[in-house]
Structure 1
Amino acid sequence: MEKANNETQTTAENNAFTLDVHDNGVAILSMDVPGESMNTLKMEFAEQISAMLDEIESNNKIKGVVVISGKDSSFVAGADISMLASCETAQDVEAISTGGQQIFQRIENMQAHFVAAIHGPALGGGLELALACHSRICTDDKKTQMGLPEVQLGLLPGSGGTQRLPRLIGIQQAMKMMLTGSPVRAKQALKYGIVDDMVPRSILMDVAIELAQKPKPQPKPVKLNLMGQFLEKTPIGRNTMFKQARKQTLSKTKGNYPAPELIIDCIETGIDKGIQEGMSVEAKNFAYLVMTPESEQLRNIFFATTEMKKETGVTGVEPGQLKKVGILGGGLMGGGIAFVTATKAGLPARIKDIRSEGIANAMKYSFDLLNKKVKRRFIPKSEMQKQMSLLTGSIDYSGFGDADVVIEAVFEDLELKQSMVHDVETHCNENTIFASNTSSIPIGQIAEKAARPEQVIGLHYFSPVDKMPLAEVIAHDKTSDKTISTTVELARKQGKTPIVVKDGAGFYVNRILAPYMNEAANILLAGEPIEHIDRSLVKFGFPVGPVKLLDEVGIDVGTKIIPILMAQFGERFKSAEAFDKVLADDRKGKKNKRGFYAYSGKNPGKEVDESVYELLDIKPEQSLSGVEISERCVLLMLNEAAMCLDEGVIRSPRDGDIGAIFGIGFPPFLGGPFRYIDKLGAKYVVERLQHNSTKFGDKFLPAPKLVEMAEKGESFY
């Protein structure tokens, strides 16, 4: 298409918007926030957008407007969340929401045909802006995705998203997107009807300009099957659908997260009482949620992880090169590490195992995950082949000579790991880093016989590696700063949030988890039913209960760390006798289909194996409340976290909070162990620990750090 001559171009210094009017009657409204890599919507932009809309309205030559991003890799990533912190009252927040709604409503009411040309992420307020336009086109690029992720921050879409999306793609699909916060790729967006067309990036602007020259389209009815028509178009159907949605939501949130229910309220109000009433409820609910402690903590997590992405492992120390990674061991962990190395980091991964079957299993692990994505049309087959080509294997060290990092993922045996350090130092180059995925053995011991101990480090992943977001980077006292920064960079490239922790038994995450699990076992031995213990901690906010978690990770694996912790920290970590008896009965949990839960019958893994009570000589009877159970388990975790901070195991309360949330599912709405202690108050936590120590022994003695904070009235943040 021939480039039209420009008639006028309007911009101002520090203005995020430019208006470029072409002779063909199409104006290009481009957004490019100065000094930022991504576009975000800010409060101060309201005047700028209004001025642009005034100009469009006053120029009767403009028949169409293409809304596009001036950024190379994103449309609009959402609203600037930091502006919410400056709001002192719910009324302040409601004013922001109403202001956003009014601007987007004005776009929808414009005579000119507004076309959103989307490349890269269009999330939150970015998608709401696109929804206010009359047409939407996106690129077929893998960077392009659309979603309303506000629920993940304890919020809801506050600029008309709860009203426009259901009208565009149907109530059920829109509700699913808003309640999960999950974005959709370009292909799905086209299939659902979020966009009208999907094109290669090279012609995005041309196609958008052509479309903008056409008259404004009339809204199309949503395509629904018979059941969909009953559920969405009849009062009885809608009543059933919203009732069911609330029931399912409550079963997932346990009442700990208020946002999902309020999202449903907004959608239902808009459908039943009209869009104006829906907008009004949306603004009020958005304002209410911003002021909740749950949203405040979820936003804290968002800011913490954003901050962490900008950090190197050691301030001022740049990471070394990362061109190739070696992996020792083709088991579940090795396969998972190889997968994230190839698919997320885009680095060649060379797998070594003593058996060729081990290599084949590790390859199959990646193949199965990628094949599932191909079948669901998330990625084309060519992309899968490209990623699989990064995986190679051998039963010796051939192909390891040029590896920048070699990650060891074999079973927990000190001598074996030490011999692998020697092998890597022999077969790889002099700069190769040896990273151990041990979950329990101190890194200093693994590096004891190393010729280059400064290049030995711990890199502890959590299972399953493709899903769990945390990685612990463990430096022993001889690890070099360059090794730390390079390992942090590798973990980040693999899609992980890394925290740097000091060497020692259990490191950070397993060390704070062990007393929590131990106490659950003690409560079980005292006669509390397993379901009651697990239910109590799920209600508290953990994704699974402690007994169920032990079955999931493997009872043998979960208990292996206890002797190592006892060797360093003494009786505080003495394990409950239950573990020995259960292991002696060859119960390893889910992996050998024998554990605390039953893995045969109609609901495998859902019901308790009653024979375990007989084995432990227990007559189960509920005598403690759920609050008493959760308090006992969680207090020990909080206490241990405070000790870890005091001993320098973690660098900051922030790292401790992110580690607990991403590593073991500490309830995100509570902000992590340190934010939760601040919420309760150190004085209260110390009092509860002392109260429990009189009943259950010295393991509940409060950490000196907490006692000091209680006396001085201090907090972690």
Structure 2
Amino acid sequence: MKHIQIQKNDWLIRVTFDYQDQAINKLSAELMKELFDVIKDIETAPQKVVSFESAKKDIFIAGAAIEELQKIDSIEMAKEKAQQGLKIFKALELLPQTTVAIIDGACVGGGCELALACNFRLATDNPKTKIGLPEVKLGIIPGWGGTQRLPRLVGLPEALAMILPGKLLPAAKAYRIKLVDKVISSIQLEQQIDQFLEGLRKTRFQESLLSRREPKSIAQKTMAVAMDSHLARLYILKKAHQNVMKTTKGLYPAPLAVLEVYRKKCNFEEGIQRELSAFSNLASTDVCKNLISLFFLNEQVKKEQRERYPQPETLPSSGAVLGAGVMGGGIAWLMSSKGLSVRIKDINWESIQLGYQQAADYFNQLKKRRRIKQAGIDTAINRIGAALDYTGFNHAQIAIEAVIEVMQVKKQVLKEAEAVLPESSLLCTNTSALSVTEMASVLTRPSQFCGMHFFNPVNRMPLVEIVRGEQTSEETIAKAVAISKAWGKVPIVVNDCPGFLVNRILLPYLNEAAYLLQEGADIEKVDSAITTFGMPMGPFQLADEVGIDVGYKVAAILEAGFGERMAVATILEHIHGSLKLSGKKGGRGFYHYKNKEVEVNQLLYQAACVASSKDFSDQDIIDRLMLVMVNEAAHCIDEGIVENAGQLDLAMIMGTGFPAWRGGLCCWADSIGCKEVVQRLDKLQQQVGIRYQVSPYLQKCADEQRSFY
């Protein structure tokens, strides 16, 4: 065997997965064939217990070979691949011996389905132990029996809670819902595994494990019977459907396919056939291909960063934040949640109190989701200290500035902070658009300064733009990348320019929506067209959420930097300057917010710069707003602001919520074709003006029949 090792004694067979030349175990066609041969050999073996284990550190089985899934190009091919896996796991399930999966690390997708086919599951308390079926994130559903075996163990509600969002569970939670039968400590691991395997030789030990799966009290038994009723099933599926539609708007077919598998109550074999049909129909779709490509894109970016920016020897254990607003409080929360002691500085205690409140709000959100207990919150909040001066900054190993977006203010604050920070400290700015290079001009250590642009809200948005100034060293960039990853963020390194990458592409989109309004477009129709396209919210909704005042400032910075093609729409100047509307935080913007009621701000249609009502088709709206972003993306690639189209697409998905199922902004443009994109832009330039003038890079792609990728 190439990828599987076998050890036997008189009562035990230990099957150990060790995929050669790979850091992880994956269920490739080659390994699955070996596994089937092993199972057929075990069928007639005299041993009583069979364990399935891994030789890889922190990995049980990371799932199927995704590169093989990517090659599926038809329903028939998908069905054949799924049937092979179903056949193997059925043979595993029917083995006459007692089988156990020993899970120490990631047990994901096909690995979880293999574990479900065993009689028992033992997990370790290793923080890397995560168990689940995340297939929906690749645009498919579990295809090797997972949809049928999981609810038999944990019940339909818990199964849906795992499968629909592709959720991975730590060992403790998996034990609570009876997905695993026992959790053991990572201390003296081998000894405890041996004790568990020895116990499986005894009927009484097995019976004690099985008895835990059964409801004990009368109330539990009554609830179990009720939950298995037809009415309860319909209610569970209805609520799950409502939640799926709320979170995905029905644009991701895989979660809906999961619900359809469960729609009809049937026996195991019928359920397997429903799963097989659903998997086969999904595996060759464009959505699946785009999501798989996005998975590989994410892995490629990680690889590129590992090679270019090596991990520093140590990461910060203490930090400081300059400015305690929404962003400053959010950054302080992030630091403290990752175990850093934090100092906050602002000019008054009222602002500092707001920063504390922001951090507390984020911790309370985690508490509601049962991700942290009050004791943990108290400990983390106590790691945050505050002052009106730079007390404590002399110990900070990283300091992040998040004060008002005014260059002179930022320069002053950064210069003062640098003077009190240790010489080895990393100093960063969280500016969303201002020049990092200009800020560095007042510093004595500009090589240790960079942009570290978080997106709001900090607790939910994964992207961090690491902005390289002209004098920023590669060591500084490497530190910022490593810190971002350690804090659970996705860093993308970009070069300095007005708006950097994401805002430089996003603001023309918001600005163009304002131009549509000026030309007579309906606010709700524009937002509806864009959410139907797949964006999480329309441009007017987004402008209100971000804050019209904030958006206007960034738009003005871009106009100053790029001239006429970034000219701010007159209606935006009117809303910001004359009407003084700030968006949702002020109660009025493009929409009027009355308690929980939201309605269009009709006052805007009465502005002198807004033309009479004009009907734009959804396609007109999509072209106007999406193609202006594609064109600006091409400028960014051409100017070297970002390394490649893949990193740009990842940034737009992580930073703006661009629909992942479309593969990213550049991937979407490639699906249309650069030649067609250029033709549409040329037409828009004739109709609208210089804002749609085709970028040289995009024109070259069209002329040479190339794509972004």
TM-score above 0.5 = yes
CA distance in 1, matches of 2:414, 2:401: 9
User: Contact 1:321/1:404 (CA < 8 Å) preserved in 2?
Assistant: no
Per-residue deviation, 1:207: 5.7
Q: CA deviation at 1:508?
A: 0.9
Q: 1:99 to 1:526 in 2, by over 3 A?
A: same
Give the Cα–Cα distance (whole angstroms) in 2 for the partners of residues 67 and 213 of structure 1: 16
CA drift of 1:69 comes to: 3.0
Distance 1:709 1:186, change over 3 A: same
State the partner residue of 2:344: 351
Quick check: 2:362–2:459 contact (8 Å CA) kept in 1?
A: no
Contact between 1:28 and 1:68, CA under 8 Å: does it hold in 2? yes
Shift of 1:556: 0.5
Establish whether residue 509 from structure 1 lines up as the match of residue 496 from structure 2: no
Q: Do the aligned residues in 2 keep the contact of 1:38 with 1:74 (CA within 8 Å)?
A: yes
**After the TM superposition, which residues 337-348 of structure 1 pair with which residues of structure 2 at under 5 Å, given as runs?**
337-344=331-338, 346-348=339-341
Q: 1:138, 1:144 within 8 Å by CA — same for their partners in 2?
A: yes
Provide, for residues 135-190 of structure 1, a one-character-per-residue CA deviation record: whole Å limited to 9, x for no partner: 22333454333221111111111111111122322223322321211223334323
Question: Residue type matched to 2:54 in 1?
Answer: S
Q: Using the alignment, how far apart are the partners of 2:32 and 2:306 within structure 1? A: 39
1:629-663 deviation line (CA, Å, top 9, x unaligned): 12211110111101111111111111111111111
1:425 aligns with 2:412: no
Instruction: Between 305-314 and 427-436, report the one with greater CA deviation.
Output: 305-314
Question: How far did 1:424 drift?
Answer: 2.8
Equivalent-residue separation in structure 1 for 2:535 and 2:668 (angstroms): 14
Larger deviation: 68-77 or 176-185? 68-77
> Which segment drifts farther, 208-217 or 592-601?
208-217
- Post-superposition CA distance 1:330-385 (Å, at most 9, x none): 222112222223334x4433322233454454344334433554565434556545
Distance 1:383 1:309, change over 3 A: farther
Over the aligned positions, Cα root-mean-square deviation in angstroms equals: 2.8
2:19 is the alignment partner of 1:33:
yes
Instruction: Name the CA shift for 1:325/1:308 in 2 (closer, same or farther; >3 Å).
Output: farther
Deviates more, 1:98-107 or 1:583-592: 583-592
Tell me the distance in 1 between the aligned counterparts of 2:289 and 2:154: 31
Q: What TM-score comes out, normalization by structure 2 length?
A: 0.91
- Residues 382/70 of structure 1: CA separation in 2 closer, same or farther (3 Å cut): farther
**2:201 is matched with which residue: 213, 223, 231?**
213
Q: Distance in 2 between matches of 1:112 and 1:316?
A: 49
What are the within-5 Å matches in structure 2 for residues 217-256 of structure 1? 232-234=228-230, 238=233, 242=237, 245-246=240-241, 249-250=244-245, 252-256=247-251
Q: Which residue of 2 aligns with 1:182?
A: 167
Distance 1:455 1:678 in 2: 38
* 2:30 counterpart letter in structure 1: E
- SS of residue in 2 equivalent to 1:435: strand
Q: Is the 8 A contact 2:75 2:281 kept in 1?
A: yes
**What is the aligned length?**
696
- Between the aligned residues of both structures, percent identity stands at 35
Question: Is this contact kept in 1: 2:548–2:583, CA < 8 A?
Answer: yes
2:362 alignment partner, one of 369, 389, 399: 369
Q: In the alignment, which residue of structure 2 is the partner of 1:263?
A: 258
- Structure 1, unpaired ranges of 5+: 1-11
Q: 2:657 corresponds to which residue?
A: 665
Partner of 1:536: 529
Q: Out of 156, 161, 169, which is 1:171 matched to?
A: 156
Say if 1:312 and 1:318, in contact at 8 Å, map to a contact too.
no
Partner of 1:54: 40
C-alpha distance in 2, partners of 1:26/1:620?
A: 81
Q: Give the stretch that moved more between structures: 331-340 or 196-205.
A: 196-205
Match of 2:579 in 1: 585
Q: Does residue 288 of structure 1 match 2:276?
A: no
Instruction: Name the residue aligned to 1:132.
Output: 117
> Which amino acid is 1:704 matched to?
P
Rounded to whole Å, the distance in 1 between the matches of 2:535 and 2:224 is 34
- With over 3 angstroms needed to count, the CA separation of the structure-2 counterparts of 1:371 and 1:119, relative to structure 1, is farther
SS at match of 1:311: helix
Report the 3-state secondary structure (helix = DSSP H, G, I; strand = E; otherwise coil) of the residue aligned with 2:581.
coil
The amino acid that maps onto 1:19 is: I
Query: Does the residue aligned with 1:19 lie in a helix, a strand or coil?
Result: strand
Specify whether residues 32 and 313 from structure 1 end up closer, same or farther in structure 2 by C-alpha distance, changes over 3 A only.
closer
Q: Residue 476 of structure 1: CA displacement? A: 1.8
Which residue identity does 1:171 align to in structure 2? L
Residue 620 to residue 101, structure 1, CA distance change in 2 (3 Å)? farther
Matched to 1:644, the amino acid is C
- Pick one of 516, 521, 545 that aligns with 1:523: 516
SS at match of 1:688: helix
- Hey, what does 2:408 align to over in structure 1? 415
The code of the aligned residue for 2:279 comes to: F
How far 1:550 sits from its partner (Å)?
0.7
Q: For 2:590 and 2:583, how far apart are their aligned partners in 1?
A: 7
Aligned counterparts of 1:522 and 1:118: Cα–Cα separation in 2: 56
Name the structure 1 match of 2:133: 148
Asked if the contact 2:336–2:380 (Cα under 8 Å) also holds between the matched residues in 1, the reply is: yes
The residue type equivalent to 2:445 in the other structure is R
Q: Which runs of 5+ in 2 are unaligned?
A: none
Partners of 1:125 and 1:386 in 2: how far apart?
38
Q: Distance in 2 between matches of 1:550 and 1:75?
A: 45
**CA-to-aligned-CA distance 1:409-461 (integer Å, 9 cap, x gap):** 11101111111232133112333332111011111111122222222211111
The question of whether the paired residues in 2 share the 8 Å contact of 1:312 and 1:319 is answered with no
Match of 1:646 among 619, 638, 641: 638
Distance 1:214-1:383 versus aligned 2 partners, 3 A rule: farther
Contact 1:313 1:484 in 2 (8 A): no
Corresponding position: 1:678 with 2:670 = yes
1:535-587 CA-to-partner distances (Å, cap 9, x unmatched) read 11000000011101011111101111122111111111112222233223232
Following superposition, the deviation at residue 121 of structure 1 comes to 2.8
Q: What SS does the corresponding residue of 1:146 show, helix, strand or coil?
A: strand
Residue 276 of structure 1, CA deviation = 2.3
Matched ranges for 1:12-27 at <5 A: 12=1, 14-15=2-3, 17-23=4-10, 25-27=11-13
Mapped partners of 2:122, 2:167: distance in 1: 20
Please list, as runs of the form range in 1=range in 2, the aligned pairs for 1:452-531 lying within 5 A after superposition.
Answer: 452-531=445-524
Q: Tell me the CA shift for residue 43 of structure 1.
A: 1.8
DSSP-derived class of the 2:60 partner: coil
> Among 376, 394, 405, which residue is 2:387 paired with?
394
Q: Distance in 1 between matches of 2:538 and 2:561?
A: 27
Whether 2:97 is the aligned partner of 1:112: answer: yes
Deviates more, 1:706-715 or 1:251-260: 251-260
Tell me if the contact between 1:314 and 1:481 (Cα under 8 Å) persists in the aligned partners: no
CA offsets, 1:25-76, max 9 Å, x none?
343333333444433222211232223323432222x222233333342332
Supply the AA of the counterpart residue of 1:326: A
* Change in 2 beyond 3 A, CA 1:495/1:317: closer
CA–CA separation in structure 1 for the residues paired with 2:390 and 2:677:
53
- Compute the displacement of 1:314 (Å): 7.9
Q: Distance in 2 between matches of 1:694 and 1:172?
A: 55
Distance in 2, matches of 1:672 and 1:378, equals: 30
Q: SS where residue 430 of structure 1 aligns?
A: coil
